[in-house]
A and B are shown apart, each in its own frame.
Chain A
Amino acid sequence: MLRIAKIFLSLLMLTIIFSFVFSGCSSNSQSVQTGNGKPGTDGSSDESSDNGAGKKFDGKTLVLTGSTTLLEVTNNWAEEFYKEFGGRITVNGGGSGEGIASLINGTTDIANSSRNIKDSEIKNAEENGITIREIPVLYDGIAIIASENINIEEVTLEQLAKIYTGEIKRWSELGGPDKEIILFARDTNSGTGEYFLEEIIQRKGTKKDSDYSQMTIRLNSNAEIVNNISDTDNCIGYVGLGFVKPEMNILYIKEDDSSQNVMPSIKSVRERIYPISRELFVYADENNISDIARGYIDFILSEKGQSIGAEAGFVPVK
């Protein structure tokens, strides 16, 4: 029986030692940062500590919280930033509201947001002695895509709203085949889903009671919407511009019956002609911004940062 205890204890010790040794060695490679970029990926401390010179922001903490729309691209930014400048960076989701609330409470350095900060939030911030600085970082265009078999060219914003509230139920009402429309939308926790609800379904907030039809199928990501529409007939869905491929059945959007129809593209989004597009922001505390946070903001606005954003499917602001 004692032997069993010994086995167990040595196992526990092994686990502890393992984690500390490895975290130790990785932290070596982190604090004595490498010139060539990979943060201790090899798991060998010697190699990286030999590289000597530390990076600019080693040991400095940076917490990024907020919009799920920006989550993936923030992660990419953080990875690249870390490779170049070091630092202890944590990326959290939580949605735009949570991001801004965390900034006001002082638990995050930078808030990611897919909407403008509200007046009430600015007031709250001021009461906490925080001066909000708003930085637009990317544009996001939302494309409306339909299944292959749908032979419709364009929809107006009003039709789109009616499709999603369930007032328009069949494609034939829009001149398409006599089939029921299958609706795809993003999950309730998606920033894109929220934006679409407020901008399109609620007509920019003028019809506060409108909501997604009960029959809407909610999906977790842009990719899932694309995949499901590609192998099912009679569907409609929306995805970020970055997920659009030329071979998809993308619908032109018309502001109303009398206006020009517009295809989503980098150009039409940047010129703000395409109606379903928005700005994405990061927010920071103007008076109390750390060096690493400033460095990070400079980085995401740099050519490299913006091209990372473009790769993730957004439209650069610069």
Chain B
Amino acid sequence: MKKRYLQQKIFYGLLLFCTLVVVAFVLGIIIFLIVKGVRAINLNFILGFPENGMREGGIFPAILGTLYLMIGTIIFALPIGIFAAIYINEYAGKSKITRIIRLSIINMSGVPSVVFGLFGLGFFVLFLRFGKSILAGSLTLALMILPVIITSTEEALKSVSDTYRQASLALGATKWQTIYKVVLPQALPGIITGSVIGIGRAAGETAPIIFTVAAFSQPGLPKSILDQAMALPYHLYVLATQVTNPPEDMLWGTALVLLFLVLFFSVIGSIIRVRQRLKKRELS
């Protein structure tokens, strides 16, 4: 009998250890980045231009480029993603095509980001002749985050009770009017959560933008969506591997800013989701 409980203790200890390793890794990364990166952060670092072969000055063009890409990505991905989810949840029913759509969404989210990069280069940059540009980069990233937006929107639509739909239809509204005026507003928080998480993911991706938009360096800023731009993740990659002897502060600072930007969006997304859950609990 005792042996069995001893065994239990040992294994519980092991399980706890596994969990602690994971937690330590996450906290370790974040603490390291903050402690080492915060020294580099000042106004000139955030709003200044790179100088002396990127070894001094700031990373403003990279931050701005990433913001442009985030905006561009969401402009393309959000409407398509929402309509796709509306189709799956409201129109398609349980047909064979829904099954195929679902399968391809799952597979699309499993396609490696570097393959999206290849595709973006082949299709947007070369075939459609957008060139290496913010437009091509945003479109590539938009495709990559589509599955996130479709799935979360679909979940949100599913959570809207059918009684609302029936009531609206009974009042003589068309199907589209019902969706537009009744269902979508109800599903809004869920949709927003998905988009916020999607934007965050787009902001941190490197592989899809290397061949579609990212410039090694760019004194001056992009003026149109057909210009190239610098981007934070690529800039970090360049600093860490392509520039000889970059100062430690620049490296850690850039990494910290990137992490902050990405985490900022995912935290907002989580907050919205938690509030939504609480509200539902109150209702039920």
B189, A1: Cβ atoms closer than 8 Å: yes
- In the complex the two chains form, is A11's CB within 8 Å of B58's CB? no
| Beta-carbon contacts under 8 Å, B47-70 to A | 47-54, 57-58, 60, 64, 67-68, 70
| Interface residue ranges of B223-282 to A (CB < 8 Å) | 223, 227-228, 241-245, 268, 272, 275-276, 279
Report which residue of A8, A42, A220 has the largest number of chain B beta carbons within 10 angstroms of its beta carbon: A8
Q: Is A19 an interface residue (CB 8 A)?
A: yes
| A binding-site residues for B, Cβ under 8 Å | 1-2, 4-5, 7-8, 11-12, 15-16, 18-19, 22-23, 26-27, 30, 38-43, 71-72, 75-76, 78-79, 81-83, 86-93, 107, 220-223, 243, 312
Q: Which B residues form the contact surface with A (CB < 8 A)?
A: 43-44, 47-54, 57-58, 60, 64, 67-68, 70-71, 74, 131-132, 185-186, 188-189, 192, 196, 215-223, 227-228, 241-245, 268, 272, 275-276, 279
Distance to closest chain B CB from A284 (angstroms): 19
Specify which chain B residues have a CB less than 8 angstroms from the CB of A71 in the assembled complex. Answer: 216, 242
Q: Are A88 and B223 in contact (CB under 8 A)?
A: yes
Indicate if the CB atoms of B217 and A75 lie closer than 8 Å.
Answer: yes
Shortest distance from the beta carbon of B159 to any chain A beta carbon, whole Å:
12
Q: Is the CB of B218 within 8 A of A39?
A: no
With A43-B48, A223-B244 as known contacts, state yes or no: A79 contacts B218, CB within 8 Å.
no
Q: Is A91 a contact partner of B218 (Cβ separation < 8 A)?
A: yes
B216 cross-chain contacts in A, Cβ below 8 A: 71, 75, 91-93
B223: chain A residues at CB < 8 Å are 27, 88
In contact, A5 and B220 (Cβ under 8 angstroms): no
A243-B217 in contact given A4-B272, A11-B268, A43-B48 (Cβ < 8 Å): no
Which residues on B sit within 8 Å (CB–CB) of A8? 192, 196, 268, 272
Q: Are A87 and B220 CB-contacts (below 8 A) given A22-B47, A92-B215?
A: yes
Shortest CB distance B5–A (Å): 49
Contact present for B71 and A19 (CB under 8 Å): yes
Asked whether A23 and B217 contact (CB < 8 A) given A4-B272, A8-B196, the answer is no
A195 CA to B71 CA, complexed, in Å: 42
Q: How far is the CA of A76 from the CA of B51 in the complex (A)?
A: 8
> What CA separation (Å) do A82 and B223 show in the bound complex?
16
CB atoms of B244 and A4 under 8 A apart: no
Residues of A within 8 A of B74 (CB): 12
Check B241–A19 contact: CB distance below 8 A.
no
Find B64's partner among A23, A39, A79 (CB 8 Å cutoff).
A23
Q: Which 8 A-B pairs have the closest CB atoms?
A: A43-B47, A82-B219, A223-B244, A19-B67, A41-B48, A75-B217, A8-B192, A91-B217
The residues of A that contact B131 with a CB separation of less than 8 Å are 107
In the bound complex, residues from chain A placing their C-beta under 8 Å from that of B228 are 90, 92
Q: How far is the CA of A267 from the CA of B219 in the complex (A)?
A: 34
A contacts with B: majority SS: helix
Q: Is the CB of A243 within 8 A of B215?
A: no
* Minimum C-beta distance from B200 to chain A (A): 12
Contacts of A86 in B (CB 8 A): 220
A41 touching B57 by the CB < 8 A rule? yes
Contact of A222 among B43, B67, B68, B244 (CB under 8 A): B244
Pick 25 A–B contacts, CB within 8 A, sort by A: A4-B188, A4-B276, A5-B192, A7-B272, A8-B196, A15-B67, A19-B68, A27-B221, A39-B49, A40-B49, A41-B44, A41-B51, A41-B58, A42-B48, A43-B60, A71-B216, A72-B244, A75-B53, A75-B216, A79-B217, A81-B219, A87-B220, A91-B217, A221-B242, A223-B244
A243 touching B244 by the CB < 8 A rule? yes
Give the Cβ gap from B192 to chain A, nearest Cβ, in Å. Answer: 5
Contact between chains at A90 and B188 (CB < 8 Å): no
**Min C-beta distance of B226 to chain A, whole Å:** 11
Q: Which of B53, B64, B188, B222 contacts A1 (CB 8 A)?
A: B188
| Closest Cβ–Cβ distance, residue A61 to chain B (whole Å) | 8
The answer, among A4, A22, A30, A41, for a CB contact under 8 Å with B275, is: A4
Closest residue to A79 on the B side, CB-wise?
A: B219
Chain B residues with Cβ below 8 Å from A40 are 49
With A5-B189, A220-B242, A223-B245 as known contacts, state yes or no: A79 contacts B51, CB within 8 Å.
Answer: yes
Q: Which residues of B contact A312 (CB under 8 A)?
A: 53
Rounded to whole angstroms, the CA-CA distance of A1 and B193 in the bound complex is 12
The answer to whether B71 touches A89, judged by C-beta atoms less than 8 angstroms apart, is no
Known: A5-B189, A19-B67, A23-B64. A72 touches B215 (CB 8 A): no
Chain A nearest Cβ from B43, distance in angstroms:
7
Cα(A40)–Cα(B220), bound, Å: 9
Closest to B214 in A: A92
B182 CB, nearest partner CB in chain A, Å: 13
